[in-house]
Chain A
Amino acid sequence: MKQAGQKVQPPKGYLKEYAKKKLKHLGKEIKRGKVSYLFIAPFCILFTLFYLVPVIISIGLSFTYYNVLETPNFIGWQNYINLFFADDVFLTAVKNTFLFAVITGPVGYFAALFFAWIINGFKPKLRAILTLVFYAPTISGQAFIVWGFFFSSDLYGFVNGWLMKLGITSEPILWFQNEKYIMPILIVVVLWMSMGTGFLSFIAGLQNVDRSLYEAGYMDGIKNRWQELWHITLPSMKEQLMFGAVMTITSSFAIHDKIAPLAGFPSVNYAAHTVVSHLIDYGTIRFEMGYASAIATLLFLVMILCNKLVQRVLRKVGT
């Protein structure tokens, strides 16, 4: 220790002085930025209170047993251990969630990109109409319950009625009570609704691509539309691709609101139970907040990991 100290030998109190100077400078800067802090204060206070603090609380509570009535009781990793080793329903939920995320996430994302790309080639009027067509299901909120009428379990349901009329089935199928049909139908419904924000941002990104790049592309011998897409279009809209990916990941891992009214909550034999369903079950029905927080924390971690992964993949676009 002593030798190491002798080797460099900075003047006594040098570090202290330096830190003091820095701090004084910082203080001045902060003072000068008074107005700026006033500007950001309303948002930052509310954001901290309703977005940041909840996440921190959630992580903290996940290590406790907490039933709202008694004070939280620290139990270490017990919630996580129970989740993975003692809770079959959770494992079903994980399986279903990944099935939803793996299918609706990428399919929704690429479909949105694909349609945005085609639509972008049309004249402005037609483009506006088609944009509305593809975005309408996302903004119409509760409209997904139409699928409930479509797949209604009696013979007045559209699908059942016609299947029987055509003699394919002899009695109505209970679509949302049958484990075989429940997931495929829900995946279609979620896809229908999930074009959304990503689609809109792709449309915008495509319009922003520099036209002269295409002309240059023809010169450089880009032969077909696919090469053009990969080498010119996509690299010019990386920011929108990223934005769409974040939105898609967040929504495809958090599916619950849209399926509960259709499949029931809990669904038959947990056939459509997702991680968020499980979270809501424990959080708002059983009031086991610690356990529910552990689920929320895991979900959050998986989302962040997925985002990092997707960012990495997107960096390779066009190379």
Chain B
Amino acid sequence: MEKTKRRKFRLKKQAPNRSLWGDGLMLLVLTICGAFMVLPLVYAICNALKPLEELFLFPPKFFVRNPNLNNFHDIFVLMSQSWVPFTRYIFNTVFITLVGTLGHLLVASLCAFALAKHRFPGRNIIFGIIVTALMFSSQVTAIPNYLIMSKLNWLDNYLSLIIPAIAAPLGLFLMKQFMEQIPNTLLEAARIDGAGEFTTFLKIGMPNVKPAWLTLIIFSFQDLWNMQGSNYIYSEELKTLPYALSQISSGGIARAGAASAVVVIMMSVPIIVFIISQSSIIETMASSGIKE
């Protein structure tokens, strides 16, 4: 009796051990939390599009009524008053992000390939150390890094931001887990055809782990794109876009609109990159677990 009753309500593809109550409850929780995640971002976008008088409404409105792009225009006006043009900050961040990400991709992939596919003494120890290093948060190493940078004379130089990012352990870890899944026979075939190790890596290794390097790119991109770097960089013309943003947003309520506009600019780039590579990323993460 009960069984037929339940079956009546059941959706077509539903698994046999799901209750309708449970589905409803989950959907409710998901909706509330989804709203919690997304509304602040929507609020930022609305604020960025609000004309000045709407920013000073009482009571404040969440959504924008007469959207315009004045705030975006204001950023350029505000920034043109500082003696470093705004485009310079953009260039700095784009440059650091691109060079750092590409460098990280190449260096980490090379190392991951050797660790995954070559047998040589010491490889397990090296990988073990790198896995432990996943736990080094950048703050733990900040002070000695500063000392090392000053010894190398890299302070106030892009190198101090780019080079450490190139050797980030997370990327190597991801690549290694994936490289391990490349069939050995594939590599052997290339070697028998006379390909050198580097060619094998480039022609066989890399194309086979495309999702992995897309994931690595988004992690590295996101890190570098948001890097303030004010610890190592002193010259105004070398400072990054997130740093410039933090200067605008500390300017108080009058600049709330402009600051929101910068937030929107800053977040739109990683979000677009993420959307483009999303499907591949998820595929990568599936095999990125830590093996005990």
Contacts and interface: CB of A to CB of B under 8 A. Distances in A.
Contacts of B169: 47, 51
Contacts of A152: 253, 256
Interface in A140-166: 140-143, 145-150, 152, 154-158, 161-162, 164-165
A32 B197 CA distance: 13
B1 interface: no
Interface stretch (A12-20, A76-84, A299-307): A299-307
B135 A246 contact: yes
Contacts of B260: 146, 149
A207 to B, nearest CB: 6
Contacts of A7: none
Interface stretch (B33-41, B70-78, B81-89, B181-189): B33-41
A224 interface: yes
Contacts of A146: 40-41, 43-44, 47, 260, 263
Query: On chain B, which size bracket covers the interface?
Result: 35 or more
Interface in B95-140: 107-108, 110-111, 113-115, 118-121, 123, 126, 129-130, 132-140
B26 interface: yes
A280 B142 contact: yes
Contact of B281 (A33, A44, A200, A238): A200
Contacts of A49: 148, 167
B253 A304 contact: no
Could you say which of A134, A143, A222, A247 has the most chain B C-beta atoms within 10 Å of its C-beta? A143
Contacts of A162: 59-60
Contacts of A52: 129, 133
A120 B41 CA distance: 23
Contact of B290 (A111, A243, A250, A283): A243
Contacts of B157: none
A283 B288 contact: no
Contact of A161 (B60, B147, B281): B60
A53 interface: yes
A98 interface: no
A238 B115 CA distance: 23
B68 interface: no
Contacts of A239: 288-291
B274 A139 contact: yes
Contacts of A208: 286-287
B33 A115 contact: yes
A130 B60 contact: no
Interface stretch (A88-96, A175-183, A253-261): A253-261
Interface of B is mostly: helix
A57 interface: yes
B26 A118 contact: yes
A51 B141 contact: yes
Given A39-B113, A131-B278, A140-B270, A33 B136 contact: no
A141 B267 contact: yes
Interface of A is mostly: helix
A241 B289 CA distance: 8
A125 B277 CA distance: 14
A273 to B, nearest CB: 14
A55 B133 CA distance: 10
Interface in B232-286: 242, 245-246, 249-250, 253, 256, 259-260, 262-263, 266-267, 270-271, 274-275, 278-279, 281-286
Contacts of B121: 26, 29-30, 33
B135 A32 contact: no
Nearest to B218: A139
A158 B226 contact: no
Contacts of A39: 110-111, 113-114, 118, 197, 201
Nearest to B129: A52
Contact of B118 (A36, A44, A51, A53): A36
Given A149-B256, A149-B260, A162-B59, A280 B285 contact: no
A92 B250 CA distance: 26
Given A141-B225, A156-B55, A165-B58, A147 B40 contact: yes
Interface of A: 26, 29-30, 32-33, 35-37, 39-40, 42-44, 46-47, 49-55, 57-58, 61, 68, 111, 115, 118-119, 128, 130-137, 139-143, 145-150, 152, 154-158, 161-162, 164-165, 192, 195, 197, 200-201, 203-205, 207-208, 214, 217-218, 222-225, 227-228, 237-243, 246-247, 249-251, 253-254, 256, 261, 276, 279-280, 283-284, 289, 292-293, 296-297, 299-300, 303-304, 307, 311, 315
11 contacts: A37-B114, A43-B110, A43-B111, A44-B111, A50-B164, A140-B266, A142-B262, A218-B15, A225-B19, A280-B139, A289-B143
Closest 7 CB pairs of A and B: A239-B289, A33-B120, A204-B285, A140-B267, A141-B226, A43-B111, A46-B167
